Amino acid sequence: MASKKVVLFLPARVDPSIGDLPAADLQPLELLHIASPAEAAGFEVVIIDAMTEPDALEQCVRACEGAVAFASSCILGYQVYDGARVARAVREAFPRLPIFWGGWFPSALPELYLKSEFCDAVAHGQGEVTFVELLQACEAEGGVNGDGLQRRLNSIDGLALWRDGKVQYTARRAVKHLNELPEPAWHLIDLNKYYELNARTAKAGNRIRNRLPPPPPFDDGRPFRGVSYFSSFGCPEPCEFCCSPEIAGRRWVALDPDVLVDRLIALYEKWPYDIIRFQDANFGVAEKRTRRFCERLIASKLPVQWNGTIEIKQICQYSEETLDLMKESGFHLAWFGAEAATGETQKLIKKNIKEGLTDQAMKRMHERNIMSGLTYIIGYPGETPESMRETILEAAEMKWKYPTCSSEVFPYRPIPGSGFWEPSVKAGYVGPQTFEDWGRFFDYKFNSWWGQIPPEIQKLWRRYTVLAPWFDGNAGGRGPVSKLLQKAAGWRLKNGKYGAPIEFKAFDMIRRFAGEKAASVL
């Protein structure tokens, strides 16, 4: 009888050699979601998350003994490199074991994977049903990758395959409603490991990647128990800089709010938590659903707070009553993508946020003391320097006007699978070519494409990135000089005074010469 064991691996989110730590409220949701239907189909699933398992490579190789398949998922960044490193080791140890990939990065750039020696197929789009059919094909072939398995893969929807020297897609997988899929297989991981890791990172003093600002009472540095959750799949927006329109087909399906709250209650009863981090691409598409979710969460009396990504247009369309319910239910942080300040660029990127809506949304959040994380991008293909300047100035305005709003401006970075990818390549962009190079492609500030951004805008952006953390209180010390410089940063942002910031340069020089003993004074 063929084995029915499958090994799932989530690569490390952060390069351990640079000293940064991962945000421990990010569980391996991608794997938990595909594991449930696999278990329902009779397969034994082993999940190995590099975040909690320092010897993940060795564990993967050991676990693959007698397995029917190995699979992994990743997003752009260090996970690309780490996933490739572990998959190579698995292929070397078990040359005929089928290896599959999923997640948005392999879906957006399947050729990179399919041309490698450690990928037999890439799942494209929603993966729960596709994965079960992949495993059933592997089981039928005795867990051996050969001509028989490759023929079976041709008839499975939702795959990218390597055929005749090029990528060939099978039929697009129809999106299945989340209510029809089993809930994530939380029993396959130990949430206490993530809670303990979060407690350690809170004391370590290292920079924490992908960390969201916690609400009171955890904003003083004390550890919290955080869980991440997918309550929906996809996004209906047509944004040209994003790969979601291609991968998800602009479809959006979501758990019914009553089902969602019932599942959150059941999870809390087994592993109590303090904060829910919704990882949905777009949580708030339907106001009726958001309102019902808040009502049920309030009625449940779960002592939790939550955050998620919501469109600016949606917050402006929501009623005052719905926004009040969101606050009452524990909504403490909203992430928004404003992306551009001018109407011409909004039209170019197909975001179509009308003038004044960003201000309106930030105002509605600020009035309720809900934190906002607001992001902008400059340097799109075809964007004018005037538009880039206006975007930086609007980001500054939102920051000083609404203290609960944290606004960041990122230089544009071409994303595989997005509408702007090909135009960027034609305009001269040369992206990473290897897994190792893609694995270093993490930080927007260091991995951006400056080719579309003129020097004067680059200078303005650099000045903004100096002033913004000062105004937010994240630079300098706690002494009176630092307080004065914080006010100076606010004055500059408010009045658009980006000339040579000599007061900040002087501060840095004094601090370097004075050393740590001057920290309390500065």
284 vs 477, more confident: 284
Please name the amino acid found at residue 12.
Answer: A
Radius of gyration of the chain from its Cα atoms, rounded to whole angstroms: 24
CATH number belonging to domain 212-453: 3.20.20.70
Give the whole-angstrom CA distance, residue 374 versus residue 509.
32
Sequence-distant (≥ 6) Cβ neighbours of residue 216 within 8 angstroms: none
Q: How confident is the model at residue 522 (pLDDT cuts 50, 70, 90)?
A: very low
pLDDT digits (tens, 9 = 90+) for 125-150: 999 999 999 999 999 999 899 999 99
pLDDT band at 509 (very low <50, low <70, confident <90, very high): confident
Q: What would the two tokens of residue 403 be?
A: 């203290």
Question: Which CATH superfamily does the domain covering 5-169 fall into?
Answer: Cobalamin-binding domain (3.40.50.280)
pLDDT band at 206 (very low <50, low <70, confident <90, very high): low
- For residue 56, pLDDT over 80 is answered with yes
pLDDT score, position 221: 82
Lowest mean pLDDT among 1-10, 59-68, 162-171, 510-519: 510-519
Mean pLDDT, the chain, rounded, equals: 92
Phi and psi angles of residue 22, each rounded to the nearest 5 degrees, phi first: -85, 155
pLDDT (0 to 100) of residue 205: 60
CB neighbour burial string for 265-281, b if at least 16 within 10 angstroms, e if fewer = eebbeeeebbbbbbbbb
Paired with 339 in beta bridges are: 376
What's the CA angle centered on 194, arms 259 and 187, to 5 degrees?
A: 50
pLDDT tens, position by position, 160-194:
999 999 999 999 999 999 999 999 999 999 999 99
Give the pLDDT of residue 208: 81
Taking 90 as the threshold, does the pLDDT of residue 329 lie above it? yes
- The domain segmentation of the chain, as residue ranges, is 5-169, 212-453, 468-522
Tell me the mean pLDDT in the region 341-359.
96
What single letter denotes the amino acid at residue 170?
A: T
pLDDT at 422 over 50: yes
Residue with tokens 């029993």: 187
Whether the pLDDT of residue 65 is over 80: the answer is yes
Comparing 230-239, 412-421, 461-470, 478-487, which segment has the lowest mean pLDDT? Answer: 478-487
pLDDT at 501 over 90: no
- Mapped onto helix, strand or coil, the DSSP state of residue 416 is coil
Segment 45-56 shows an average pLDDT of 96
Q: State the Cα torsion 257-310-230-254 to the nearest 10°.
A: 40
**How far is residue 127's CA from residue 107's CA, in Å, rounded to a whole number?**
11
pLDDT interval class at 8 (50, 70, 90):
very high
What pLDDT is stored for residue 192 in this prediction? 96
The confidence score (pLDDT) of residue 506 equals 82
- Tell me the average pLDDT across 408-415: 93
What percent of the chain stands above pLDDT 90? 78
pLDDT for the residue 118: 96
End-to-end CA gap in the chain: 71
